[in-house]
Amino acid sequence: MVGRDRELNAVAAHLDRAARGASALLVIEGPSGAGKTTLLRAAAEQARDAGFLVLNAQASTAEQDFAFGVVRQLLEPGVLAVPERDRRALLSGMAEPAERVLGVSGVTAQEAPGPDVYATLHGLFHLTVNLAARQPLLLTVDDVEQTDACSLRWLAYLARRMSALPVAVAMTVGAGSKWTDPTQLAGLTVDAVRIAVEGLDHGGCEALIEQEFGESPALEFTAACRAATGGNPFLVRELSKALAAGGTRPNPAAAEELHDLCPAQLTRTVLTRLRARDPALAAMARAVAALGEPDLAIAAAAAELDLAAAGEAVQTLVARGVFRVGKPLAFEHSIVRAAVAEDLSTVDHELANARAAEHLHGTGATAGQIAPYLLRTGVARGPWVVGALERACREAMLGGAPEVAAACLRRALREPLSEHAMPNLLFQLGMAELSLDPQSALDNLTKAHARAVDPLARANIAVVLAQELGERERYTEAMELLDAAANEVRPVDRDVAVRLELCLLCVSLDAHYVASALDERLAKIREHDNLPPDTTRFLNALLTFLSSVGGASYARASEAVTSAWTQRVPPRSWQGTPWDVTSGWQYVYLAVSLIITEKLELADQYCSEMLAETTALGLSLGSAASEALRAQARFRSGALAAAENDARSALAVLDEIRTGTRTGTVFALSTLVETLIDQGKPGEAAAELERRALAGELPPSWRYNYLLVSRGRLWLALGEPRRALEDALECGRRYAQRGMTGRDPLGWRMLAALAHHALGETGAARELAAVELGHAREWAGPVRLGAALRVAGLVAEGPERLELLAASSCTLSSSTFRLERAWSLAELGAELVRAGRADEADPHLRVAMEIATSCGSEAVIAAVRGARDGGTPRRCPSGGLTPHERRIADLAVRGMTNREIAEAFLVTQRAVEQHLTRVYRKLGISRRSQLGIALQESDRGQ
């Protein structure tokens, strides 16, 4: 490490930070031959001396198609180094999906289903956490820009989550164009500490020259060497070796011979040294450059040498410093590897990889070992090629590597294929791409459906394709597709046709369906006898959901839900087929029905069961859905902190796998908004909406109805009843458009009544409250009736107000929806205080406070305190500003621009402008310069 004291000190500081439990990410940059790898090795030695577990990996362009190749290099040695009993602990719990990638237990992987991308990344992350819990950990990756896509994604995932771990990651990044994924790499390294390894100074070059010549070089000679090599350590050594071997001495006279040399010429001299008299040396060097870091037998096959000749050539190349010692075969210096690779033509690359693939196929290697070579050649031919690629695709999907699976399928599609094989491969490709490139997935699923001939195959494709079309709100296409598929397959398999019809109904629930059309389709399905158990469960779950959402009787819906609950099937029975979509629908329908029919304990239990199962199976979307639904159950039961944790955890998973505004994301966000409101954090809820661009007009599909209501509650909490009313009425309009003019599951009329009341529009408020109360009495569910009685009481006048609030509290007296009961008690207490009956109010307010405190509801606590102060809610400080508006106003007073405020809150500038406009209106001012004085005057007036 001549002349690298500055860099070594930076590495030491990096490791010290990690040893103290604060993670560190280091990137070493520089051209080939500059000494990046040597510095990385020095970092590893420093770390070992400091008590770190050091795990190393070498990336290469030739191995970019090996799924999790770099991850396996990094983590396998760390797992295998511990005793078997500790190994099982390392790979248990959340780390279990990592076993699918590493395969260190020797247990054969199940055929299906395998963990998805997020579950695999999360499992590998938790394995890293477990390793770091034993001792501080350093991961080093040389030439990280050439890392395979799966490993690069995991490194980026780790970097975002390791802030509190005793983990350091050190990577080298070189120049060049063969980067796996520049965007992913940029995301990985954006917050890293960077060390630029530049050319050596005069003293560093002098020291290296002296090592090779055995004597001190002349000043002029050192300067000439430095000019010719740019101070690149590798080139300085190679030049010195060549000159010393030729008898040159490092004196001023020899310096004259170096003036016309440049780094490019020196690289060519390196190649010249490799062209030995024995052609086997050049053949092996070229084979290794083409293949990456192969085993001896694979390189021998690519070089068309027998094992003995290949072995002798390798020994010679190691002795000459071209190859490094050990296995697999690899160049000692990346600059030499690059020089040899540059000398290869495209044909040379393809032939070498084809010979490697054919050799592995002939020796019975696994598809996962063969596929990377097939991906880099188009000249390997034979019926075995497509079979190997399909098997490699399955292995990759089971190991959570859809990128590799998709690459294998694209390569297979370049082969001559039968009419049956083509649509099957397109279907598999579409499935693999769902988590990578949804639009490409949709295109390939569409092509697969169009090319498929067999009705059952078309039915399988239609189920997945319709689901994706529905998520893009292309409901008409989805329903037409399923209808056509059902008609086509009915003569062949009636049961499949019925399941397709049920899928059609599920898609229609999220579309602009007409209730009468839905009933008509259901009636036809129910005419069928002797349906299989799976289909019967599917039908019952759908009927239960419809009864809970729009049925006339709470008692009948409750009975149906209980029956469906006893028939539930865990996801362990799922088969990893397209029809698992229907199992997911069944689960969601039953969980929602349990919540609507007020069976919160069963809902929580069911969601927890499903969360445990889907997590164990590595089904991230299922896990996120389970957490989102459990968040809803826990919110309704008043476990606000737990509900917030579940909702945020679900959103984190869904954001990681980039679902956008799919149904699960919207539902989890809606629950989070309501949870934050009741915790007294409406500002945070508003920021969440604006960060996701969901504070404005929403798309027309059903999935946004719940968000309209939760967002309306937010506007009401923020003192904006007009916006609350707009959202509530829009929700009602959408329900009416779908034929639901009676009771609705979200209670939009109650929100609209409260908003009308806040605006002083008492007639409209009472009319809506009365309609809602009528529906609630007809439904006869205790929670819905109690809430409707409370709202009717709040908008009523005179003695009726107190009567209704008392009835609400009585109805909710034994409810598991604890916050609903607390709100009713708080409002009843406030009304009693206003009526001069404070003594009667006290027991109600005391119970409300106890419930609110145990639930962590600052909103109810504030209402109780306001009631005790005189029966009216406390005014917000600063002229009725909401907490969020006050924070924005304070930042504006401090001199921050709208853009800076927007960045601080992760919202748009337009959102900040709208908030400030409302602030000015509430404070009665018209300019920013008046804001500071207006806030002071308003605070003094509280």
pLDDT digits (tens, 9 = 90+) for 747-764: 999 999 999 999 999 999
Q: Tens of pLDDT along 840-883?
A: 999 999 999 999 999 999 999 989 988 887 655 444 444 567 76
Residue-level pLDDT at 924: 73
Q: Tens of pLDDT along 475-514?
A: 889 999 999 999 999 999 999 999 999 999 888 877 755 5
Are the CB atoms for 74 and 595 separated by under 8 Å? no
* Number of other residues whose CB lies within 10 A of the CB of residue 464: 23
Mean pLDDT of 653-661: 72
Is residue 27 helix, strand or coil? strand
Lowest mean per-residue pLDDT among 308-312, 355-359, 620-624, 674-678 = 620-624
Beginning with the edge strand found earlier in the chain, give each strand of the sheet holding 53-58 in spatial order.
Answer: 53-58, 137-142, 167-173, 24-29, 193-196
Q: What DSSP element (H or E) covers 837?
A: none
pLDDT band per the 50, 70, 90 thresholds, residue 3: low
Are the CB atoms for 354 and 373 separated by under 8 Å? yes
Mean pLDDT of 621-644: 93
Residue-level pLDDT at 871: 55
pLDDT(722) > 50: yes
Residue-level pLDDT at 641: 93
pLDDT band per the 50, 70, 90 thresholds, residue 341: confident
pLDDT(598) > 80: yes
pLDDT exceeding 90 applies to what percent of the chain? 38
Identify the residue with better confidence: 560 or 246: 560
Within 567-619, residue ranges assigned H as helices are 580-596, 600-617
Identify the residue with better confidence: 262 or 598: 598
* Number of other residues whose CB lies within 10 A of the CB of residue 320: 13
pLDDT band per the 50, 70, 90 thresholds, residue 450: very high
pLDDT band per the 50, 70, 90 thresholds, residue 356: very high
pLDDT(110) > 70: no
Which 8-state DSSP code applies to residue 97?
A: T
Cα Rg of the chain, angstroms:
34
pLDDT(200) > 60: yes
Are the CB atoms for 154 and 121 separated by under 8 Å? yes
Among the ranges 41-55, 231-245, 429-443, 797-811, which has the highest mean pLDDT value?
797-811
Q: How far apart are CA 301 and CA 290, in angstroms?
A: 12
pLDDT(900) > 60: yes
pLDDT band per the 50, 70, 90 thresholds, residue 636: very high
Distance of CA 134 to the CA centre of its chain: 27
Long-range contacts (CB closer than 8 Å, 24 or more residues apart) made by 925-930: 928/892
Mean pLDDT of 374-379: 90
Which 8-state DSSP code applies to residue 218?
A: P
Mean pLDDT of 368-396: 90
How many residues are there in the chain?
A: 942
Q: Tens of pLDDT along 284-300?
A: 999 998 998 889 999 99
Looking up tokens 């919110």 gives 635
214: left (phi over 0), alpha (psi -120 to 50) or beta: left
Cis before 328? omega within 30: yes
* Average pLDDT of every residue of the chain: 85
Identify the residue with better confidence: 803 or 576: 803
Are the CB atoms for 51 and 136 separated by under 8 Å? yes
pLDDT(587) > 70: yes
Q: How far apart are CA 286 and CA 356, in angstroms?
A: 13
Residue-level pLDDT at 866: 87
Mean pLDDT of 358-366: 93
* Number of other residues whose CB lies within 10 A of the CB of residue 744: 21
The string over 277-294, giving b where at least 16 C-beta atoms fall within 10 Å of a residue's C-beta and e elsewhere, is eeebbbbbbbbbbbbbbb
Residue-level pLDDT at 176: 56
